[in-house]
Amino acid sequence: MTKDTTSLVPVCPLEEITRESGVTALVHGKAVAIFRTHSGDVYALSNYDPFSHASVLARGIVGTRTVAGEPVDFVASPMHKQAFDLHTGRCLDDGTVSVPTYEIVVTDGMVLVGGPKEAR
Amino acid sequence: MNTRKTLVVVGHGMVGHRFVQAAIERGLTETHDIVVIGEESRPAYDRVALTSWFDKGSEALSLLPEGEYDDPRVRLILGTSVDLMDPATQTVTLSDGAVLAYDELVLATGAAPFVPPVPGVEKDNVFVYRTIEDLEAITAAAQNASSGAVIGGGLLGLEAANALRGLGLQTHVIEMNPRMMSVQVDEAGGKVLGRHLTDLGITLHTSKATAAITGEGTCTGLAFRDEDETLDVDLVVFSAGIRPRDAIARAAGLDLAERGGVLVDEQCRSTSHEHVWAIGECAAPGGTMYGLVAPGYTMAEVVVDALLGGGGAFTGADMSTKLKLMGVDVASFGDAFGATPDCLELVFNDAVAGIYKKLVISEDGKRLLGGILVGDASAYGILRPMVSSGIPLPANPEELILPASSGSMDLTLPAEAQVCSCNNVTKGDIEAAVEGGCESAAEVTAQTKAGATCGSCKTQVKKIVEDYFAAQGKVVDKSLCEHFPLTRAELFDVVLVHGYKSFDDIIAAHGTGRGCDICKPTVASILASQLGGHVLAEGRQTLQDTNDAYLGNLQKNGTYSVVPRIPGGEITPAGLIAIGQVAEEFGLYTKITGGQRIDLFGARVEQLPAIWGKLVEAGFESGHAYGKSLRTVKSCVGSTWCRYGVQDSVGLAIELELRYRGLRSPHKLKGGVSGCARECAEARGKDFGIIATEKGWNLYVGGNGGAVPAHAQLLAGDLTTEELIRYLDRFLMYYIRTADRLQRTSTWLASVDGGLDRVRAVVVDDVLGLGAELERAMAVHIDSYADEWSETLNDPEKLRRFVSFVNAPGVPDPAISFGTTRGQIVPDAGPDEPVLLGASIPVGGARR
């Protein structure tokens, strides 16, 4: 839970997001990509791909990549395939680039998204 | 003032052609206009592979299928000979009477078959084996013949004998020497070779001299010297050696070698006349004539170099030979007969298996001087470079030819060792190519030409490439990605054998993790190829790349383009109007594609269903422009309208496009059909291209445009429509099953062991017995085809995803905006930051 709970807005029922895929939501005027992984976890990232300058990340393929021996959930930009860590927003192909992540919770089967988290 | 010079090349055979290629590549045409005079009606063709004309036809042999050089400063005159050269005035006179002045004259007239002065050679059904016309004449005569004899049991004579056998004739070979191929193999090797040939049904007559050709006007048999016995045959082919074609040089008074051929120095310059050069079989550098193509190529390069002021020299040639005759390997290299004083021989002779191998070794046992291989020449690739490079023999040289360990020896060739003798490529050149970025033997061949001519060094090239990678510690990992330790082809088989229907089952059984943007679309494609069904079916939708996932082509600003199918490029005015109306209604940018259809750009995700609703209503279906699948089959207008057309190319293109529409493949697939040899559909630039002939269709495969363009090659000729479709079904399915991910047909063909010939054997000759299965697999695809967009429009579950925002489905994404160029929309330059929508936009709750 985040301190600023008032900024959490409901976007859709969890069931509406197919496992291992994303949807785009409009939250406080911003396009946010919301992903649901195979294990059922949900993540929210900015939908904006900093490489292609297009609002597309929710339409990428979701999978896992082994980083330092650990499987990391990621989305590959549908534009030029750069991979972004779903937990941190960090680009796995270029450590200097990352996208903002957003607060996200599931309550009573409803997905709620809040404001951007502090950069890690 | 015109300072350009004129260079005349007499002869357009393999060597003449190589000369022109080298002249263009090295920039000689910057200063010289080149005129090439060819006597035959067609441009240069691969005479070394002449016998394959019977299977593939003339076009496949052509070295210049376009019929002209891609350099306007080269003029090619065919069907014309040079009757006269006059070095005093520096002119040549052509057979049509024209007189050409030259600054430099290059003679590349080649050689002619030697026909001994035997009584009766003028009779009908007496042939030589040198040109495509000779082969056409032999084929025609064989129609009414049951037996034939080849006079001369050399390399070319046995090629001719193979041809007669292929034409269904009882075949005889008459050889003056006690064995076949006496120039290349010794007595013991000749015995082994003879046994192979006899087993193949060829009757050998050794130590026999032909005295006369009998018959009244037409050949009916042969009489031999010192014998009463005669041999009845219906036709005869002379292959008793070749003689340089030096008549015009002789008449002009040029120095000739004792046994014929223009006498030239190390730079292939006439020793008696300035500005005259001779290359190939009509030349005699230092008095010796060379009857192989590789030395001819070297001479061609040497002359181009000399004309550019270089100092390259021709100093003799490697006369090594390796060939496969009727399935029998024969190779001969270096000092094959042990002419070096006090040399030693090491022989392996297995009469049962029909294998003979001999090594000639220096007196001290340290160097390999030469050798002969019959029945199994697999060691040739490693042995021949050992001779030319002079590297020391291993302590136990017999290992080199013993069957159990052949090829397994770890021998390191020096960088300067020549690997490809046809194109003079060294091991160092190959390694440099790999270092420069080539990642496979096929790429090395494309760049260095190593293995591109006779192909006998291909295994060696492959090994050098692999060794190089191994030495770099680079494992050539063929794994699809970190999740699957399999190639795409292996994965295809695994899925087929186990009958998997979902990604989850496949990755659980054969992979690790949860997949990625590489393996997921690959599995989706494999499942689509095997099972058919909708790309957005449950469990498959999340595997698709965005193009397939949204049934459109993602463009740079996040919008999609829409391409309805227009089979064969044929469209009614009403269809055109309907597309125009849709584009106008939704404000889309329109452009005609290279595949003869119309692309509508700028559609937002949420607009796609409405756009397609209108298109489907107007009778259109998905064009699969977004898929790794069949795109279009382009056509010219064909015999329906065109006054040159010989077949209905539009009709066939439509039939093929409808047959293969929706077919998922390792990469995109394009086709083309041309209604005549003018090839207006550019079919040979496609993965499969069909060109109409008077008798049916020629099928070409493996072409593409793009960054590395490839011309499609002839798979089979003069097919009926039924045969064409059968072969094409098999070809496409074979490709889909065995190609790597994102491998176009051209690179796939190059990577298949045995290349096009192997694919032809599988597809046309059905050597693997796979034909029926491949056709069945294609039938499954055809039967299960349904338009992806119509199905999507009828399924709310699939439509659910076509929204801009899950919580504001009708609100356009503010990141997308357009400008206008030439009266149409174009993407605005992308914003540097995400765009913030005004707070007034209502944020809806969950939508259902």
> What are the pLDDT digits (tens) for B781-817?
999 999 999 999 999 999 999 999 999 998 999 889 9
In this structure, the strands spanning B5-10 and B104-107 are parallel
Nearest-Cα distance to chain A for B678, in Å, is: 40
With a CB cutoff of 8 Å and minimum separation 6, the contacts of B30 are: none
Lateral strand order in the sheet of B5-10: B74-77, B32-37, B5-10, B104-107, B276-278
Tens-place pLDDT, residues B458-483: 777 887 888 788 777 766 667 888 89
pLDDT at B735: 96
**Alpha-carbon distance B122 to B138, whole Å?**
15
Asked whether residue B672 falls in the same domain as residue B762, the answer is yes
- The answer on pLDDT for B120 being more than 80 is yes
The string over A17-41, giving b where at least 16 C-beta atoms fall within 10 Å of a residue's C-beta and e elsewhere, is bbebbbbbbbbbebbbbbbbbbeee
Asked whether residue B701 falls in the same domain as residue B782, the answer is yes
Confidence of residue B848 (pLDDT cuts 50, 70, 90): very low
Structural domain includes residue B610: no
pLDDT at B842: 39
**Phi, psi (deg, nearest 5) at residue B50:** -50, -40
Q: How many CA atoms lie within 13 A of B71 on its CB side?
A: 20
A60/B517 touch (CB, cutoff 8 Å), yes or no: yes
Average per-residue pLDDT in chain B?
89
Structural domain includes residue B797: no
Average pLDDT over residues B484-504: 91
Say if A106 is an interface residue toward chain B (CB within 8 Å). Answer: no
Structural domain includes residue B604: no
Tens-place pLDDT, residues B369-399: 999 999 888 788 778 888 877 777 877 777 7
pLDDT at B464: 83
**Alpha-carbon distance B76 to B41, whole Å?**
11
We report the CATH number of the domain holding residue B662 as: 3.30.413.10
The residue among B549, B571, B587 that closes a domain is B549
Nearest-Cα distance to chain A for B452, in Å, is: 36
pLDDT at B753: 80
Confidence of residue B839 (pLDDT cuts 50, 70, 90): very low
Average pLDDT over residues B78-104: 95
pLDDT at A120: 44
Asked whether residue B104 falls in the same domain as residue B248, the answer is yes
pLDDT at B602: 96
Confidence of residue A65 (pLDDT cuts 50, 70, 90): very high
3-class SS of residue B69: coil
We report the CATH number of the domain holding residue B132 as: 3.50.50.60
We report the CATH number of the domain holding residue A110 as: 2.102.10.10
Asked whether residue B223 falls in the same domain as residue B254, the answer is no
Asked whether residue B174 falls in the same domain as residue B291, the answer is no
Asked whether residue B81 falls in the same domain as residue B131, the answer is no
**Alpha-carbon distance B157 to B181, whole Å?**
9
Structural domain includes residue B636: yes
ipTM of this complex = 0.93
pLDDT at B830: 55
Domain of A52, in residue numbers: 5-116
pLDDT at B403: 62
Q: Which residue type, as a one-letter code, is found at position B723?
A: E
A79/B521 touch (CB, cutoff 8 Å), yes or no: no
Percent of chain B with pLDDT over 90: 63
pLDDT at B476: 63
What distances in angstroms separate CA B731 from CA A26, B65, B627, B773, B777, one per listed residue? Answer: 49, 23, 20, 12, 12
**Could you identify the residue written with the tokens 């006439």?**
B270
pLDDT at B412: 65
**Alpha-carbon distance B654 to B656, whole Å?**
5
Nearest to A20 among B542, B815, B845 (CB): B542
Asked whether residue B684 falls in the same domain as residue B705, the answer is yes
More confident residue, B533 or A84: A84
Structural domain includes residue B569: no
pTM over 0.80: no
Structural domain includes residue B525: yes
Instruction: Provide, as residue numbers in chain A, all residues whose Cβ is less than 8 Å from the Cβ of B543.
Output: 61
Instruction: Provide, as residue numbers in chain A, all residues whose Cβ is less than 8 Å from the Cβ of B804.
Output: 24
The residue among B264, B282, B307 that closes a domain is B307
Say if B603 is an interface residue toward chain A (CB within 8 Å). Answer: no
What distances in angstroms separate CA B307 from CA B18, B103, B153, B254, B277, one per listed residue? Answer: 15, 11, 40, 20, 10
Count of domains in chain B?
6
The residue among B496, B515, B549 that closes a domain is B549
Asked whether residue B416 falls in the same domain as residue B359, the answer is no
pLDDT at B84: 95
- The answer on pLDDT for B110 being more than 80 is yes
Tokens found for residue B85: 């050269």
DSSP per residue, B661-703: TT-B-SS-EEEEEESSTT-TT-GGGSSEEEEEETTEEEEEES-
We report the CATH number of the domain holding residue B432 as: 1.10.10.1100
What is the distance, to the nearest Å, from the Cα of residue B409 to the centroid of all Cα atoms in its chain? 31
A30/B816 touch (CB, cutoff 8 Å), yes or no: no
Average pLDDT over residues B340-358: 86
Say if B839 is an interface residue toward chain A (CB within 8 Å). Answer: yes
Asked whether residue B293 falls in the same domain as residue B418, the answer is no
- SS3 sequence of B518-578: CHHHHHHHHHHHHHCCCCCCCCCHHHCCHHHHCCCEECCCCCEEECECCHHHCCCHHHHHH
pLDDT at B375: 87
pLDDT at B845: 38
Tokens found for residue B790: 């119509």
Q: Looking at B9-23, B197-211, B351-365, B551-565, which range is the least confident one?
A: B351-365
Count of domains in chain A?
1
Domain of B692, in residue numbers: 628-786
- The answer on pLDDT for B14 being more than 60 is yes
Asked whether residue B75 falls in the same domain as residue B106, the answer is yes
pLDDT at B636: 96
Question: B-contacting residues of A 39-98, CB under 8 Å?
Answer: 46-48, 52-56, 59-66, 71, 73-74, 76, 78-79, 81, 83
Question: A-contacting residues of B 774-833, CB under 8 Å?
Answer: 800-801, 803-808, 811, 813-816, 830-833
Query: How many CB contacts within 8 angstroms connect chain A with chain B?
Result: 135
B513/A52 touch (CB, cutoff 8 Å), yes or no: no
Asked whether residue B644 falls in the same domain as residue B735, the answer is yes
Asked whether residue B761 falls in the same domain as residue B720, the answer is yes
Structural domain includes residue B30: yes
pLDDT at B719: 95
Structural domain includes residue B828: no
Average per-residue pLDDT in chain A?
90
